[in-house]
Amino acid sequence: MNRYTLTYRSPDRRPALIDGSLLRPDTLCTLDRAALAGTMLPIGRTMVPLSELFDITNPDSSPDSSHPSSDSARHASLTIVSAPPLDRLGANMTHGRLIIEGDAGDDLGASMTGGIIRVAGNAGHRVGGPAVTSRRGMTGGEILIDGNVGDFAGFLMRRGLIAIAGTTGKSPGYRMLAGTIVLRSLCTDQPGLEMQRGTILCLDDVRIGASFIQGGLIAATAMPAMLMLIRRLEQLEWPRDWQRRMITREVAGGSWRLWSGDSLSINKGEVLQWQF
């Protein structure tokens, strides 16, 4: 029993108060259905069982699958449908797949270390940023967003991949330590401000901060690691709108305009804008 779908059914509750950090595939998908239904979720000052907020379905349900093994959790998949944009979804998750058929709130995938988060809609501020009490953002895993995001996506991220198909708020990659952010759409707010290391790939137009130094035009084939990243996104079928997908062959035919920065920090990061 390692795949669950949770369909939200409580429009009267105050969704802004629901803490989504417990909605993680790596922990919930190891539970049997009864235990999952009884999992208590905090809403403001109260705790309510998960089954009060969500209808639970399991596409794999069978008598044999009622006792999940820890190994099966490696392939855990949790889908959340029709929920309001909950904060801290996928925080600290280590593996598995979290699919959000809708919007996510703030701090999506905070301090996650592995697995994949896929958001069909929009996400809030600090995607992949630090969890409460942590000074580091995500240190592994992949966050794929088909819509727009709020401010400071990738704030303090250390490792991993964030791919955003829509628009971004203030400085995506702000103070990032390392890792990779891919921006599919126009980015007007100076990505990577105060970044230390890491890579921000811009597949559309971008407004670069003044503290970034232009490093020339590099053939895409001269940076095979970037081709691998695009290929990985191609394999993950991101974004869902195939007309907006960048296929490896197409990217390989172009070039990267390179900026190094942030020179106000240690200047070991890079912003690459694809040119064709």
On whether the CB atoms of residues 52 and 42 are closer than 8 A, the answer is: no
CB closer to another protein out of 116 and 164 = 116
Output the DSSP codes for 8-68.
Answer: E--TTS-GGGBBGGG--HHHHTTS-HHHHHH-EEEETTEEEEHHHHEEEE-TT--GGGGS-
Task: Write the interaction track for another protein spanning residues 104-133; mark x where CB under 8 A is met and - where it is not.
Answer: ----------x-------------------
Taking CB under 8 A as the rule, does residue 159 contact another protein?
A: yes
CA dihedral 26, 179, 83, 30 (to 10 degrees): 0
Residues 169-208 that bind another protein (CB under 8 A): 180, 197, 199
Among residues 9, 33, 170, 232, the one that binds another protein under rule CB under 8 A: 232
Among residues 17, 34, 47, 228, the one that binds another protein under rule CB under 8 A: 228
243 — phi, psi (to 5°)?
-70, -20
User: Closest distance between another protein and the C-beta of residue 74, in Å?
Assistant: 8
Nearest Cα neighbor of 99 from 78, 73, 84, 85 is 78
Nearest Cα neighbor of 180 from 135, 144, 211, 214 is 144
CB closer to another protein out of 120 and 252 = 252
CB closer to another protein out of 188 and 263 = 263
Report the b/e string of 235-248 with b at 16+ CB within 10 A.
eeebbeeeeebbeb
Taking CB under 8 A as the rule, does residue 31 contact another protein?
A: no
User: Closest distance between another protein and the C-beta of residue 68, in Å?
Assistant: 18
Among residues 14, 135, 240, 249, the one that binds another protein under rule CB under 8 A: 249
Distance CA 73, CA 246 (A): 31
Distance CA 121, CA 82 (A): 11
User: Closest distance between another protein and the C-beta of residue 199, in Å?
Assistant: 7
Taking CB under 8 A as the rule, does residue 146 contact another protein?
A: no
Binding residues for another protein, total number by CB under 8 A: 28
Chain contacts with another protein (rule: CB under 8 A): 74, 114, 140, 142, 159-161, 180, 197, 199, 218-219, 221-225, 227-232, 235, 248-249, 252, 268
